[in-house]
Each structure stands twice: as C-alpha cells, then as structure tokens.
Amino acid sequence: MKTNDVQLSKFLSLLLRHKPETIGLNLDVNGWANIDELIELSEKRGKHYSHDIIRHIVETNDKKRFIISDDGMRIRANQGHSINVDVELKAMTPPERLYHGTATRFLKNIMAQGLMSGSRQHVHLSADLVTAKKVGMRHGVPVILEVDTLAMADDGMIFFCSENNVWLTEHVKPRYLRQLD
C-alpha cells in the first residue's frame, strides 16, 4: 500500500473499529456504515475518500480488515472492535491448534493471566505461524504461542472465525498456551 493508502486505511480502522464519533459517523448494530455518509463526513475532516478509493483500500488491505456490503453501499470492519457491535459471527469448530503472536516483553504477563481481549471484543488468533509472527513483530521481538483449541473447546470455550479468517474467542487461559521455540 502507498503511504496515503495506509493513512486512509488507518483512519477507516479508527472510524469503523473504535471511534466513529470522531467524525459523527453512525454505525448500525452490526457495525455497518453508509459509505456516502462516511465520504461526506470524512471530507469535513480533511480525509478524501471516494467509492473507488474505499474499494481499493478494501481490496488491497493485506489483513482484509474491511468488507463492503453486497449492494456496495455500506462498509464495516471484520473484527477488532473496541466498540460494542455485533458483526454476526457464527460459532465454529476451530482447527486443532491456533497461534498468537506477541512480543517477548508481554510473555510473563500472558503466561500468568492468559490472553485477554483488553479493549477489544475478542482475542485474535491465527491459523498459521507466519501470520502470528508478523503480528508479534509489530510489537517488538516476536514470540509465538500455540493455543490448544481442542482442550478449550472441550472445556466449553466458543470460537468464531471472521470474514478475513481471524479466529476469535473471549479469553485464553494460561493452561491452554505453549510457547514455541
């Protein structure tokens, strides 16, 4: 992504995942925003979007953070919300193992308390090591944690998979975690 695309993508994340009130944007209960309203309100804040620009950001975002509705009139974030929205996730059986990338500086706390959603609605997990490592590298020296999803599911924990294949759950207790070398 070009620098301007990255800035516009980050602003979309802010609006659709965390603070729509920044520009007075209304999200419905499922997190959808009207694209025309988003364009108009963003323009007043010096952010220049169009339907083509938004479509380009959605299509080229490497993490596939956003989705446009079938009618092309609305947009929402797939996951990662710190605001209360229902992105209509369906409970799914996860693969046998999932992974979480983090930085070594967080490891002691995670191994004591587990993975917690913090300000977000869910803990984010990936099905592959490459993605987990990329996530961990964003925060410092990476470490990969393997999650025993079979044991979690046996204990009644529920998993969801977002539109962009990020696995989500509420909390991962330390007993389900193993640090990979």
CATH number of domain containing 9: 1.10.10.970
In the chain, the number of structural domains is: 2
Helix ranges restricted to H, the chain: 3-13, 35-43, 51-60, 107-113, 129-137, 149-154
Q: Are residues 66 and 115 in the same domain?
A: no
> Do 160 and 128 sit in the same domain of this protein?
yes
What does the block give as tokens for 103? 């930085």
Find where tokens 């209360």 sit.
84
Residue range 80-133, pLDDT digits in tens = 888 988 888 889 999 999 999 999 999 999 999 999 988 788 899 999 999 999
Whether residue 82 is contained in a domain is answered as no
Residues 101 and 169 both lie in one domain? yes
Query: pLDDT at position 1, please?
Result: 55
Residue 108 included in any domain: yes
CATH code assigned at 174: 3.20.170.30
User: What domain range is 34 assigned to?
Assistant: 3-77
What is the average pLDDT score of the chain?
A: 92
